[in-house]
Amino acid sequence: MAKKKSVQPPKKQPTQSSKPQNGGGTTLAGQPVFAQPLPSKDPSGFKDPVTDKSETGLENLEPVPSPAGGAAEPVLTLQQVWGSTGAAKVAAIQKAGQIVFHSVGDTGSVIGPISQSLVADKMVSDFDEPSASDVPSFFFHLGDVVYYFGESTYYYDQFYEPYRNYPAPIVAIPGNHDGVVYTSDPEPTLSAFLRNFCATGFGVSPDAGGLLRTTMIQPGVYFTLDAPFVRILGLYSNVLEDPGVISGENGSNKVLDSRQLTFLATALARVKSDNFTGAVIIAMHHPPFTGGSEHGGSPLMLKDIDNACKKAGVWPHAVLSGHAHNYQRFTRTINNFQIPYIVAGCGGHSPLSKMKKTYRTPFTIDKTLTLESYDDTDYGYLRIVVNAQTLRIEFHPQGDGSLTKTPDDDVTITLSSHTIS
């Protein structure tokens, strides 16, 4: 059962460098910029308050934009997202023998920035580490960057401003709210997301409101992030409230095609052909499983993913998702592999979603699936650590405060055996 904690704002961290942080500490044309030069006080309100609070438009699938270049497996490398300092960054990670990164979804908020800022501030506190090997190298966002509709007007308040002090790259897969189109909005689905995350080069977005973080250079809304010790296969699960959908599902819908299935098959086949021994993570916005009270699972999407894994003979070491606005950790046993399925939709969207009931964990759902842990009382994020032998996923609630480094829940997977240790 989740324990209750008082919500306390984190203490402010020491002032960062007075120069924009892009790995080298200077602003160069064509190079990425991450953190704002000087930390400033979190705002108490939005510059552009959310007015379109109707959920209309979440009942029809939207087409998926093709990735740049049309590759079956669009790939983005960590070296690319760090620009000219990328080679040195990757070399330092390899020398250290581990990579650390953040992940969470549903960070956008419609009622104000406070809950999101609390999580963002605690994430920034993870960059204050005595060992450089423990400092995060990027943030993989699990979708719903902005609410209620993915309009450009909300990107300043719900993305650029909350992460103005986050000194590392942020890559993302879209959530349903990022792709849904407001009835009278002339822009097509995912227009603002593509402009801010799938730009052809690093540049200042017109949506950034004068802040310095540059656009991301993802090849598309689904892609592989290739980094030392880990590959993350990110899927776009479309705009429905429920369920998540990544294909035409054998003709049940005429909007989507098989491109994401081809992507999965190609990416998993490359894991095998490369003899890749690192962690393989599959990420999408909609959860395959959830015990939350407001959203259900996505069994047909899970079937699509399972079929691709079976055909390739490659299974993920973990599956990450958001959408349900809390933290949940399941263990699924398949082919004698123990795979954590983690829901992390607690990045700031208010209110949090309660579970269907109070569970005494671990709670056995069936012979293949167990709910191991959950927290439906606090916002937070995942801190993920991967080395040559293990993948560790930690849940850090913001209510513990910025000076607390011990996670409230964690799981470690041995990569070679796909077992939880």
Best CA proximity match to 320, nearest among 364, 280, 360, 293: 280
**Residue range of the domain that includes 132:** 68-420
CB neighbours of residue 294 within 10 Å: 16
Examine residue 181 and state whether it is found in any structural domain, yes or no. yes
d(CA 8, CA 179): 33
Per-residue pLDDT, averaged over 230-236, amounts to: 98
- Give Cα 311 to chain centroid, integer Å: 26
Q: Residue 61: what pLDDT?
A: 95
Encode pLDDT of 96-128 as tens digits: 999 999 999 999 988 888 999 999 999 999 999
Examine residue 225 and state whether it is found in any structural domain, yes or no. yes
The tokens describing 350, both together, are: 């208010």
Q: Residue 270: what pLDDT?
A: 98
Examine residue 46 and state whether it is found in any structural domain, yes or no. no
Domain count, the chain: 1
Per-residue pLDDT, averaged over 381-398, amounts to: 98
Of all residues in the chain, the percent with pLDDT exceeding 90 is 79
Residues, the chain: 421
Q: Residue 2: what pLDDT?
A: 44
Q: CA torsion, points 151, 153, 154, 160, in degrees to nearest 10?
A: 120
Q: Residue 38: what pLDDT?
A: 73
Examine residue 206 and state whether it is found in any structural domain, yes or no. yes
| Cis ω before 148 (30° cut-off from 0) | yes
Encode pLDDT of 48-71 as tens digits: 887 766 655 567 899 999 999 999
Examine residue 7 and state whether it is found in any structural domain, yes or no. no
**CATH code of the domain containing 157:** 3.60.21.10
Banded pLDDT at 366 (limits 50, 70, 90)? very high
Examine residue 61 and state whether it is found in any structural domain, yes or no. no
Q: Residue 15: what pLDDT?
A: 32
The larger pLDDT score, comparing residue 213 to residue 150, is at 213
How far, CA to CA in Å, does 234 sit from each of 222, 226, 231, 264, 285? 5, 11, 9, 9, 9
Examine residue 37 and state whether it is found in any structural domain, yes or no. no
Best CA proximity match to 359, nearest among 347, 345, 370: 370
The tokens describing 1, both together, are: 């059962």
The larger pLDDT score, comparing residue 245 to residue 36, is at 245
Examine residue 21 and state whether it is found in any structural domain, yes or no. no
pTM, two decimal places: 0.92
